[in-house]
Amino acid sequence: MAHLRRDRGPGSRRLRWWSIGLVLALVVAGGALAGARSLSTTEDVPALTDEEGRSLTLRGFSTAGSAKQAPDGLPDLRPADIEAEYADMGTNFVRFLISWRAVEPEPGHYDQAYLDGVAERVDWYAERGYHVMLDMHQDLYGTEIVPSHAVGNGAPGWATHSDGLPIGEHEMWELYYLDPGVIRAFDNFWNTTGEHPELRTHYVGAWEAVAERFADEPAVIAYDLMNEPYGGSLQGPAFEAGPLTSLYQSAADAIRTVDDSTWLCLEPQAMGVNWATPTGLGPVDDPRDGPARIAYCPHLYPLPMDLGSGYTGTTKTLVDGTVQTWLTNTLRTSERLGDVPVVLGEFGLDTTKPGALEYVDAVYDVADDHGFGVAYWSRDPGSWGPYDAEGEPRNLVAALDRPYPRSVAGAVGAIDADEHELTFDVSPSGGLTAEVYLPDDFSPGPGRPEVTVDGGEVSGWDGTRRVLEVMMDPEASEISIRAGS
């Protein structure tokens, strides 16, 4: 189904890793210049679709960092946490962290008990109407990268070959990416060393085992093939267009032997692209019958804020420029990969910083405007998350509780969400219904202003989940929902 493209005209980390000065100058200056140019690539991308072909707007969290080093590989999460998340923010999506070390603890042995644990949690989400993206997470290659297990997650110990090269101790976790031992572990994984061609085959095999397990689970909508890929001594297009694209192709081919419907989500390399540099990732052919189900899932962590400031003053201007550059590059990549949907698989920050919520709003506005899914990093309690250590809602909750069209029969385009008005572009088809999430103070009820709809009429209201069903006019190009006239 064609998505809606509309030209809206103009305007609509922690890098202390490399040479801070150089990259900061390049990315920020590029971003600032781009901002000044008033970029005009403000088109929307197609949405991911569910098993009934409905277009989905995905809103949720990466869940959770607590799984990274947990002995059982599972996040600290209970059904009540999902209930609270829904009640507070009406999310419909989770980017659920899984790991290669838990899937394949021994070479060729796929741990069904672990997959049972994942399946149980997928059920918790499915019962509450969520869509799940399984994210094969890694940071710094694997848990065994240092004997203390102080940092690193992802790969199993048997697949970790640092060849005795040194790994230091750093306060900032990202700095470990520069240590020779970490670089060598990745070089062995990508077989840049020529010594370990078996590792990529195992990784692909692990994905096939996961896909075999979840192929018939409609709530699992996507597989995020690798979190924040890192090329070791191969960087940039040499890495992304080379071994990374080739790994994705092998994973797609293997997954499609057991699962021909779940979307495959491709991440670019994190270094640079998270800060808005372009990606060199190549297109991946989807061997399924029918239209490709490939999505592009970059992350966004503008550098200036990660260097310590909030979203204020000059930093705000620089961050805005970075976001614009990231957006332009993301839209170009979506087109280059075959006009594919985009899921912003991670963005997030310490929301105690000045202006943090304004930044969160700005990023959600970008996602709304262009039809991107979002998984905020992360669902873990603390200063970045929606809840504190006692489970009490933090300031982020109110910022993320926004109205949105959860699913639309047909195509959905740009969304414009205000406190008491929601407008979105549509091209209705099929059953003609749109399901819309409304925050509590936007919802109908005694003593509340009436909710009015243009472009269709109300055909249902689920007061518990605060989901409004709209029967769209077949000719409607825009649906507008207002609390009060």
* Residue 142 or 455 having the CB closest to ligand 9MR: 142
Distances (CA, A) of 403 to 275, 419, 445, 472, 480: 28, 8, 16, 17, 12
Rule CB under 6 A: choose which of 139, 208, 224, 286 binds ligand 9MR.
Answer: 139
Q: How far is the CB of 151 from ligand 9MR (least distance, A)?
A: 6
Closer CB to ligand 9MR, 151 or 206, in the complex: 151
Q: Is 347 in the site for ligand 9MR (CB under 6 A)?
A: no
Calpha distance 185→232 (Å, rounded): 8
Q: Can you tell me which of 346, 368, 369, 435 binds ligand 9MR, judged by CB under 6 A?
A: 346
By C-beta, is 179 or 346 nearer to ligand 9MR?
346
Among 364, 377, 387, 404, interactor with ligand 9MR by CB under 6 A: 377
Query: Is omega for the bond preceding 443 within 30 degrees of 0, making it cis?
Result: no
Secondary structure of the chain: what % helix, strand, coil (to 5)? Answer: 35, 20, 45
From the list 90, 96, 57, 129, the residue with the least C-alpha distance to 397 is 90
Token duo for residue 133: 């993206």
Which one, 153 or 333, has the nearer CB to ligand 9MR?
153
DSSP-derived pairing of the beta strands 263-266 and 220-224: parallel
Q: Which is nearer to ligand 9MR, 153 or 192 (CB)?
A: 153
Least gap, CB of 61 to ligand 9MR (angstroms) = 12
- 68: contact with ligand 9MR by CB under 6 A: yes
Does 275 interact with ligand 9MR (rule: CB under 6 A)? no
Q: Identify which of residues 68 and 370 has a Cβ nearer to ligand 9MR in the complex.
A: 68
Instruction: Please pick, from the candidates 17, 18, 110, 173, the single residue that binds ligand 9MR as defined by CB under 6 A.
Output: 173
Minimum distance from CB of 454 to ligand 9MR (Å)? Answer: 40
Burial of 371 by CB count in 10 Å (0-12 exposed, 13-18 middle, 19+ buried)?
buried
Tell me the closest approach of the beta carbon of residue 268 to ligand 9MR, in angstroms: 13
CA distance linking residue 57 with residue 437, whole number of Å: 11
**What Cα–Cα distance (Å) separates residue 45 from each residue in 6, 227, 415?**
10, 22, 12
CB of 344 to ligand 9MR, least distance (A): 12
Q: How far apart are CA 36 and CA 33, in angstroms?
A: 5
Q: How many residues lie near ligand 9MR (CB under 6 A)? A: 9
Residues 110-129 that bind ligand 9MR (CB under 6 A): none
Query: Would you say 103 or 468 has its CB closer to ligand 9MR?
Result: 103
Q: How far apart are CA 201 and CA 55, in angstroms?
A: 34
Element housing 397 (H / E): helix 395-400
**Structural element, H or E, at residue 481:** strand 478-483
Q: Which is nearer to ligand 9MR, 170 or 336 (CB)?
A: 170
Question: Mask: binding to ligand 9MR, 244-273, rule CB under 6 A, as x and -?
Answer: ------------------------------
Please state, as a whole number, how many other Cβ atoms lie within 10 Å of the Cβ of residue 19.
Answer: 10
Secondary structure letter of residue 433 according to DSSP = E
SS3 (DSSP) at 239: helix
The residue (of 35 and 65) whose beta carbon lies closer to ligand 9MR is: 65
Q: Which of 81, 179, 208, 228 binds ligand 9MR (CB under 6 A)?
A: 228
Where along the sequence are the contacts to ligand 9MR (CB under 6 A)? Answer: 65, 68, 139, 153, 173, 228, 299, 346, 377
